[in-house]
Structure 1
């Protein structure tokens, strides 16, 4: 299929609108919008089309990066879609040619699965393994694709046994995750623990303090770190303003799309809109705009396919109901191909085949995509979009980094993002992750980022973000009990202090205070981290996990294997014999209580849904652990509440109840439910490693994992 999305008619032709329309779907003035554009956009729209096919030739930044790999560490920063994976492929080929091994770490399981599939085609299945916690396939292959947590855990094990990690090159994809509030600590640990003999290749689209990171690596690893930058987008970006009348305007007063440089502030029409006493609205308050009208304007100017970034999951699901069938009616060939491809993709995923939003895809050529959906369904949507069979996908900005498909146009409806606690203005990194999806390399000569005015859109902030420099990466390292236990497997407190001196946090503080990396300043800056380590150490001693000689006790040795959210609290549960040796469903349910997922908080559950034996086990567990938890809180350590709701949900699924029934009785969206079950299975696998200490519970945990792993949960890592 031709994915360029030809315009619906001649320039100026009247676009197709629905004949019947609910009054709530009209514009506030009661009129449908009419396509229009500023005359200065005529030469911009003339650039739309598929670029001329040319033989592949590596860009200069790719050649420089390939040359630098292996001579030391290398940090590559290039816009989304510019070919960073090509650098990784060539680096791996070089490693293979020397009979060596490589590790490719990514932050997301979905991305890890996609990379694994691509590299199996590139290098052959026998040469590629995958390790994500959920999947363990071909672990002795010369190339391992996995999550960064697994790589960090392998480094823990190597330090414990005194063995060198079996790896000669490590590729850290999405390296800006070093600054992620939740995951950054794992990235920093991985870099600190990695032997200097193993060169690092760090790939990222946006890092604002690359020199600082490179300086940290050089000071810690005693070898050169080469910085490679590519600022030019592979597909130039044109920012637009979508006026509620249906007219498109340049967003900036002056803009060079080829250089991605804007000057002289906002376009006068944007300023007029901002200064109006009562500016026109795309939709009434608390309502979504008529997406059919917006798509008609985009279709008129050949700006499809498009990704709409909306504020919430509910908005994404509602948006597809506000679209019409105009796109597929105008292109029956694509409509037929879409239905056939849908049948092919869902043949082996019955839950995706029965998805309630399937009708919207097949009738309207649009889809919603967010973390509340089943992984298999999201893969179907991504595949259809990537193949040019959809007009639009409606997604939340929170999944922008994980969206695995580009489009000609990206539309942004809100200038803030929910960070799990509150809505905060988009950072430049988040903004460029979203707009980085605009423009498909090899399919587009130009891409578009469109601002949709509304209650949640700060147009001035949107304008600032277009040319904003990348966000600086901040150190997120922090001490927790899992880190403390695992470091004590192979390090004395004095050695741990030396590790804290090597942290990016210490380097940053020293560099900011002295203007250079001084060992004295770094040592002083690391004192705070080491003081927190000692605070954890004292508690571990009090509770018998560490002996007076600062070595792990027998309990500490097996507790270190619990690389989960709350290892010490779970370990106390084992010492008190609170976990069952039989009843896999009860075991799974109790472990689900320790999964730290915001969506899995307690909600009211009908009494008839709570099995008596589960309630009894849950109440006993909570009562027995309460004194220990109170001591932790008194010493300033975080303790997450134990909730019954996720326990009941996981119990029902592990007991063999159908997905439809479990989902109906659960407050969780399907995607959140899969995530809870997968996280629970991960916890149970760690318990399965304790067979030498708790053989009965360990065996029960493995049985629980096997009971959890059935469709559609297994679809999450067999894609």
Structure 2
């Protein structure tokens, strides 16, 4: 079960997103006897971490929780918080010994894998620095030394694609088996036969794996890697956690990553997320991690990261409008404030000092009260903080931008929209990466005015404005992120060809797919509203949920 799809929803075992489970807890629906939260380190994620905390806090005490992660260094801290919140001391199971031990090394300029340790001579370090990265040469060296299959992590998506394209004239063993496997996958996903990277996958057994590709491509690559048919996967460093299939060897041609603030060294958490993909249980006695040093300082950094523990997880708990309404509806004013006190943020600050704990508690409660005051001014809450009729149907929209969505519907801004236009507006509400080009002209001026009005209210109440208004047309710009998202999904809803859509929007297929899926999730929530827009939302969602999105 996801936000936009439900298949066999009454099965005894449900695989769902954390947001789906959180929504069920808010709604008072029946919850499972056992909740397994995989990749539990997401509790520190700035965008999704609050949802994980809400599940731990709101799940009934009789419901058992099992949190899994390979990269939590302060697990005792998380366990202590759970003990305080759930009044039951959790069992902390720690396994420090890997099923497949790792050996760390580096590739010298002659393609030899050598051990990475502190005893390396300055002369060896100096002569092992690579002036340029030769991907084909690296793969040839790995093949010579029996270190395939391998995952090579590269900084950018285009680096991964170009790395695969460098094997244009190379054929590696297993071509017939790969061709047969791909034929089976094409039967399931017909669009694969036209994928630009398919020749390199079949001929050389190499493939890129990153968020810019469709899910069908990534599934194919992962299945072939698991079956031993792919020799090398080129993946982005930012999506190491998204590649769940291990290989014998992990290669790091760089120990740096680029984010909003510029280039920086990998954190210990990022390093271990990547290197943790080395070593296949049941196939390899040892997993190998190899760096390709670009400077002498890379040796020092690699040795440091090798022994460093992942950074301690810090709470990312935030107060949001849908949360205020749902907590008040289910627990009342005092109960809602007590929920905030049970957050991981308050627990962690209290452990450092009672003063810091009180300060964090006051900060969260103050923000909650300010957001509640804004909701009261807009008519969602009464003076005594009870939900109005408007507030009750606003509970049905649980989205980061729920207030903007509900206000747009309430003010009849969507009443005259066609199903395709509504699909576009739904995309405009999302936070997915926007296409680079505007596919068609769309007018979101009423939505932009609404965003400015709400942010002015936030500013007046001392709240940090959401920033949604900055995503619309600004002075000197032909269009904003919201318009480009809306135009892309609107044209897809009208029946535009997928290849033409990707081309004219100047976006990557994977980005467009996620944008459509996020728009479908917004539409799916609109369908639950007891008003005419529900029928239009259904028509819009059905129009955009077609291959290759599905």
TM-score by length of 1: 0.72
Deviation sequence 1:397-453 (CA, Å, 0-9, x none) = 111111021111100122233456644432222211111111111111111000012
CA contact (8 A) 1:414 1:456 kept: no
Does the residue aligned with 1:308 lie in a helix, a strand or coil?
Answer: strand
Deviation sequence 1:329-367 (CA, Å, 0-9, x none) = xx3xx2111111111111121222210110111121111
Which of the numbers 518, 528, 535 marks the counterpart of 1:699? Answer: 535
**1:199-348 residue pairs with structure 2 within 5 A?**
199-252=64-117, 266-269=118-121, 271-272=122-123, 276=126, 280-283=129-132, 289-323=133-167, 328=172, 331=173, 334-348=174-188
Q: Whole-Å Cα distance in 1 between the matches of residues 356 and 437 of structure 2?
A: 53
Residue 619 (structure 1) aligns with:
445
Q: Compared with structure 1, are the counterparts of its residues 558 and 415 closer, same or farther at alpha carbon in structure 2 (3 Å cutoff)?
A: same
Once the 2 structures are TM-superposed, how far is the Cα of residue 633 of structure 1 from its aligned partner? Answer: 4.4
Residue 464 (structure 1) aligns with:
304
Which of the numbers 431, 434, 455 marks the counterpart of 1:600? Answer: 434
Which of the numbers 535, 540, 544 marks the counterpart of 2:370? Answer: 535
Do structure 1's residue 417 and structure 2's residue 253 form an aligned pair?
no
Deviation sequence 1:271-330 (CA, Å, 0-9, x none) = 4465x4x975341xxxxx2222111111111011110000100100011122366662xx
- 624-633 vs 193-202, which deviates more? 624-633
Structure of larger gyration radius: 1
* Number of residue pairs the alignment of both structures matches: 537
Structure 1 unpaired stretches of 5+: 1-130, 253-265, 284-288, 515-519, 715-719
CA contact (8 A) 1:580 1:586 kept: no
Once the 2 structures are TM-superposed, how far is the Cα of residue 593 of structure 1 from its aligned partner? Answer: 0.9
Deviation sequence 1:173-224 (CA, Å, 0-9, x none) = 1111111122111101110111111111111112111111111111121112
Residue 355 (structure 1) aligns with:
195
Does the residue aligned with 1:225 lie in a helix, a strand or coil?
Answer: coil
Residue 86 (structure 1) aligns with:
none
Once the 2 structures are TM-superposed, how far is the Cα of residue 470 of structure 1 from its aligned partner? Answer: 2.8
Once the 2 structures are TM-superposed, how far is the Cα of residue 621 of structure 1 from its aligned partner? Answer: 3.4
CA contact (8 A) 1:488 1:551 kept: yes
Residue 660 (structure 1) aligns with:
499
CA contact (8 A) 1:581 1:700 kept: no
Does the residue aligned with 2:379 lie in a helix, a strand or coil?
Answer: coil
CA contact (8 A) 1:593 1:647 kept: yes
Residue 105 (structure 1) aligns with:
none
Once the 2 structures are TM-superposed, how far is the Cα of residue 461 of structure 1 from its aligned partner? Answer: 2.0
Q: Whole-Å Cα distance in 2 between the matches of residues 677 and 577 of structure 1?
A: 24
Q: Whole-Å Cα distance in 1 between the matches of residues 383 and 137 of structure 2?
A: 72
**1:18-57 residue pairs with structure 2 within 5 A?**
none
Once the 2 structures are TM-superposed, how far is the Cα of residue 481 of structure 1 from its aligned partner? Answer: 1.0
Residue 256 (structure 1) aligns with:
none
Q: Whole-Å Cα distance in 1 between the matches of residues 137 and 502 of structure 2?
A: 35
CA contact (8 A) 1:501 1:522 kept: no
Which of the numbers 440, 453, 469 marks the counterpart of 1:610? Answer: 440
Structure 2 unpaired stretches of 5+: 473-481
Does the residue aligned with 1:561 lie in a helix, a strand or coil?
Answer: coil
Q: Whole-Å Cα distance in 2 between the matches of residues 166 and 670 of structure 1?
A: 36
Q: Compared with structure 1, are the counterparts of its residues 456 and 383 closer, same or farther at alpha carbon in structure 2 (3 Å cutoff)?
A: farther
Residue 476 (structure 2) aligns with:
none
CA contact (8 A) 1:327 1:391 kept: no
Do structure 1's residue 675 and structure 2's residue 514 form an aligned pair?
yes
Residue 456 (structure 2) aligns with:
630
Which of the numbers 303, 323, 326 marks the counterpart of 1:483? Answer: 323
Q: Compared with structure 1, are the counterparts of its residues 178 and 497 closer, same or farther at alpha carbon in structure 2 (3 Å cutoff)?
A: same
Do structure 1's residue 377 and structure 2's residue 212 form an aligned pair?
no
Q: Whole-Å Cα distance in 2 between the matches of residues 624 and 188 of structure 1?
A: 31
Deviation sequence 1:228-271 (CA, Å, 0-9, x none) = 1111111111111111232321111xxxxxxxxxxxxx3415x4
Once the 2 structures are TM-superposed, how far is the Cα of residue 537 of structure 1 from its aligned partner? Answer: 1.0
**1:515-534 residue pairs with structure 2 within 5 A?**
525-534=360-369
Residue 57 (structure 1) aligns with:
none
Residue 510 (structure 1) aligns with:
350
Residue 74 (structure 1) aligns with:
none
TM-score by length of 2: 0.93
Which of the numbers 381, 400, 424 marks the counterpart of 1:565? Answer: 400
Q: Whole-Å Cα distance in 1 between the matches of residues 319 and 450 of structure 2?
A: 26
Does the residue aligned with 2:250 lie in a helix, a strand or coil?
Answer: strand
**1:57-136 residue pairs with structure 2 within 5 A?**
131-136=1-6
Which of the numbers 353, 367, 387 marks the counterpart of 1:552? Answer: 387
Does the residue aligned with 1:137 lie in a helix, a strand or coil?
Answer: coil
Do structure 1's residue 182 and structure 2's residue 47 form an aligned pair?
yes
After superposing on structure 2, the runs of 4+ consecutive aligned residues of structure 1 that deviate more than 6 Å are none
Q: Compared with structure 1, are the counterparts of its residues 512 and 136 closer, same or farther at alpha carbon in structure 2 (3 Å cutoff)?
A: same
